[in-house]
Copies of this chain bind each other. A is one copy, B any other.
């Protein structure tokens, strides 16, 4: 990683900030991942008691303290996530979101008896490996000055084009493609959620910056109209995003929505962040390559965790190939195997 050597007095993400952001991002995924499991425990308990299930319009879960605990953890997680964006680049924080999938998969197998098969376990390991590679190669510094300067960056024609592009896409999907193809193809609503989501993240960064500046006493950004624009944008964007994500979840399995959403959301956040902050310009070719490898590894990991969920694959199924083969081989007449062995040993 190269550091900008020209002297500047701008507020930069320092190494310390980077590690604070990293810590916040990782702990937010732990809170969010755990909250899924706690909420599910609450729903299962309610189910045993025999109240009307949430799926049928019941609201009994609101009386269950465990459900509220899950809700609280979710809130803490989202706050930590929000704070992480103020400290570290979005292209680090967003991809790490994958770890919450890992946390909930591991906890579900431990506390909910949802069996994690061999491919799921491999997926978990890959998720950690890919995330580590992303952390190693992510941009460590990013120039973010005052809110005024952020406005300058936003006014950059490329980012305005991006916002326009997102708005047109969203309108087209909401009015035309959604009603027509939304129930047939899983990506339709997810593209919309992700595009709007990338604007949410950028507004969160602005809001986080305002909070950080105010708290550290650099300036009182609560006098600044821009802070309120960010705040309102975040509220509106989250509302649209949640609405269409629920639509997608209602129409398709979580197993397919989660990985597809991860891919589109992360990709669009990285693109938006790259256009706005140009953080990638300071990265070497190796770091960009490393980021891509890490990101692809995490996508594969999430795919393995989800797509083969219902398959019954364990190491014991593979014991066959661990055993000496001679008798078995000739009995089954699987001579091709022996042939391939020969072609390698000759």
Interface residues of A (CB under 8 A from B): 36, 39-40, 43-44, 47, 53-55, 61, 119, 122, 125-126, 129-130, 132-133, 136, 183-184, 186, 245-246, 249-256, 286, 289-290, 293-294, 296-297, 300, 303-304, 306-308, 313, 318, 321-326, 335, 337-346
Contact = CB atoms under 8 A, between A and B. Distances in A.
B321 A132 contact: no
B321 A253 contact: yes
A293 B127 CA distance: 11
A249 B303 CA distance: 33
A258 to B, nearest CB: 8
A275 B298 CA distance: 33
A345 B53 CA distance: 14
A334 to B, nearest CB: 9
Contacts of A136: 286, 289-290, 293
Contact of A246 (B186, B326, B345): B345
Given A251-B324, A326-B251, A293 B133 contact: yes
Contact of A296 (B129, B183, B293, B345): B129
B132 A293 contact: yes
Contacts of A342: 43, 54-55
Contacts of A346: 39, 54, 61
Number of copies of this protein chain within its complex: 2
Contact of A344 (B119, B249, B324): B249
Given A339-B40, A340-B40, A343-B43, A297 B249 contact: no
Contacts of A55: 335, 338-339, 342
Given A55-B339, A249-B344, 14 more contacts: A36-B343, A39-B343, A61-B346, A119-B119, A122-B304, A129-B296, A129-B300, A133-B290, A133-B294, A184-B324, A255-B321, A307-B321, A308-B313, A308-B318
A78 B132 CA distance: 34
A322 B249 contact: no
A40 to B, nearest CB: 4
Contacts of A183: 324
A44 B346 CA distance: 14
B343 A125 contact: no
A339 B114 CA distance: 13
A337 B249 CA distance: 11
Contacts of A53: 339
A313 B317 CA distance: 15
A265 to B, nearest CB: 15
A322 B303 CA distance: 13
Nearest to A340: B254
Contacts of A44: 339
- Of A126, A132, A184, A250, most buried by chain B (CB within 10 Å of CB) is A126
A254 B307 contact: no
Contact of A339 (B43, B252, B289): B43
A183 B324 CA distance: 7
A254 B294 CA distance: 30
B39 A251 contact: no
